Each structure stands twice: as structure tokens, then as C-alpha cells.
Amino acid sequence: MKRLLLVLAVVLVGSLGVVTAATAAGRQNQTAPAATPPPSVEAPQQIVAPVAAIGYEPAPGSDTTNPTGTATVTVQKGVFDRVTLTGPKGKAVKGAFNADRTSWTTSDRLAYGTSYTWAGSAKGVDGKSVPLEGSFSTLTPAKTVRGTLNIGDGKTVGVAAPVRVQFNGHVADRAAAEHALSVTTSVPVQGSWGWLPDEGGGSRVDWRPKKYWPSGTTVTVKAKLFGVAYGQGAYGAADVTSTFQIGRSQIVKADVNSHRMIVIRDGQQVADYPASYGLGTDPNRNTRSGIHVVSEKFTDKRMVSQQYGYDTVEKWAVRISNNGEFVHANPASAAAQGSENVTHGCVNLSIDNAKAYYDTALYGDPVEVTGTPVQLSAKDGDIWDWTLSWDKWQALSAL
């Protein structure tokens, strides 16, 4: 009995040990509950800018742009879909793309004091569209100065004709203006611009060949003056151009001591007129020696002198200087023509001879007066270009 109880006790104790071990093992193998994660925070979505980059020239907001320049818009990493540049009242400025549509440039000229606005779009290589925007303004001159040419398109002039640009205001920066001037000829002709004292409302500059023009020469003058800064706030108002012809060579030889006026045309003498020149004993009445240039002519010209007390109308008057010298008819001096000089400085011919010369005279024909002690000069006004030597003439250039 005692042995049975002992065995049972051992079995019981062993069973308890097994249960206890199994329980412990079960605790060890049981999975721990998972930790609750914190609430998730969504990351901000990144915004990627379009890759197409647009550049403007002039820069947006500029208000000092010279209208002679072009306006250009360019795009990198993309191409243009559409480009417009508009001025006042929505008027579009003409322009064109380059071959790969990465730039657009104006072909129309801009205007002074005007605002222009960009519009359109470009598409980048990423497929995103970028709009064109912004505006710029051109400069507003304090004053615009206009230049005019003395010889119009299609005219025919004589071999001593100067080309003149007459400005209606003062040009302070003569070099800038002269850079904008050009003369091209159908045959080689050496010449130079020369600035004369302001007259006729403003500055003036002449182009004169070194020697008389070759007859038959075609001459094209371009004065690209729009937008040129003349200094002192003045700018060129507009371009002017002209293409004209040099006619036959007609040169008058007027030796006052011969009392004759000889006309040489294309190297041949075609006329020999009896003439009377200015009275030699009065320097104020001497016909000036030097190369005169025909500037205008009149069928009837009123001539007045308070100093010498005459007021008369003369026929077939051809002006050869701005000091009152003409070649004209004068029946009153008919007895002296061919033998004596009695005039007040003009070249007097008979009515028939004056009419014959008048009919052949062109603007720019030279009249070479010789034999008097008083020389034609700048104070005689108008066209005195040929009174200067070539070196002195070249020195009048601003360049």
C-alpha cells in the first residue's frame, strides 16, 4: 500500500512537471501581438516645371529700344507653336520663324514711342506648353530731324552736280549721320562727303566726286537715317533714297577777258556766244572766277538791286551761284556783248543765244569762269563745292 502511494506520488509529480513544462513552452511559442503603426502622412506631390525656356530681345519692360533693331523671341528645349507681336490697336508685326521653329524675328520695322506685346506659346520636349508674355516699348525721341535729297528718282543731271542731304534741324553727331549715307555708281567714281555750314533750316552734307562725273553714270544714293542718333536727343525721322543719271557732259568755258561764252558738249565745242561779264573796275560787280554750278533756271526772272538801283525782269535766266549770278538775256547790254564787260556780275547774252543755252542747261552743269581777281567762295552760298581742292574737300568729312 505504501509502495503504491509512492508510485502514484511520483507519477503525479512527473505529470505536474510535464504540464508545467508544456505550459511554459506554450507561453514561449505564443506570437506577441503586432504594434499599431502611427497614422501614415502622405508626402507632398512634387510639381515639375516645364522644360521649355523662352528668351526675349528686347527684354520685357524695356522702354529704350531703338526701332531700327529687330525683336526676337527664342526657345530652348522646345519649339514654338505660335508667335505674335502686336502694336497699337492689336496690329500684328510681321515676322518669321527659323527653320526649326526655335526662334521668331520681326521683319517689319518698328516705330518710335510704341508699345509691343508678345503672345503665343511654345511646347517643350516634355510635352508641356509655355505661354509667351510680356511687352516692351521703343524710345521716344526728344526731336526727329528729317533729311531730304536734292536729286530725285529718275532725274538726269550735269557732271558737276553734288549730292546733297539737307536736314531740317541741326545734326550734332555728324559721324553717326555720315555712317548712314552711301553712294554707289555704275562705274567706279572716287568721291567724298563734306559737311557744309548749317543753312536752309539745318545741317547739310554734300557728296562730290574728285573730278566731274563720267557722263552716263547711274548713281544710287541711300540715306538710312531712320533711328540714327544725331545727338542732343535728336533722331533721324526717315530713310531717303534716289537713283538718277548723269547726263551728257556740258561744260561752259567763260573767260571774261575774251568776252565770249563757249559751250563744250561731250568734248566738242557746240557754241561760241558773244557775252558781257561783270564790270572789272568794281570788285562788287566782278563775275566770280571759279567753277559755278547750274542750280535752277527761269523763263522770266525778276532781278532787283537796291545798291545799284535796278528792278527788272530778264528772260532765259540760268542761275549759276547763289550770290545773284546768272547767265541770262539782256538786250540793254547788247552793244557790249562780245567786246566789253559792263554787267553787275551776270553773264549777258542776246535773247536768241540766251534761249539756246537755256534749252540745253541741266542742274549740275559746270560753268567755269576765269580771268577775274575775285574768286567764288563759301560766302557766295549754295553750291561752292568745287571751289575747294580735293584735299580740303575730303577734310570736311566727319569720318
Active site residues: 328, 346
3-state secondary structure of 344: coil
Question: CB neighbours (10 Å) of residue 85?
Answer: 25
Q: Which residues contact 255 (CB under 8 A, 6 or more apart)?
A: 370, 371
Closest-CA residue to 129 (of 84, 85, 82, 96): 82
Decide if 113 contacts 140 (C-beta within 8 A).
Answer: yes
Map grid coordinates 564787260 to a residue.
341
H helices of the chain, in order, are 2-29, 174-179, 351-360, 390-394
What is each CA distance from 195 to 24, 90, 224, 258, 259, in whole angstroms?
120, 43, 17, 36, 36
Whether residue 88 is preceded by a cis peptide bond, meaning omega within 30 degrees of 0, is no
Closest-CA residue to 289 (of 347, 328, 340, 228): 347
3-state secondary structure of 9: helix
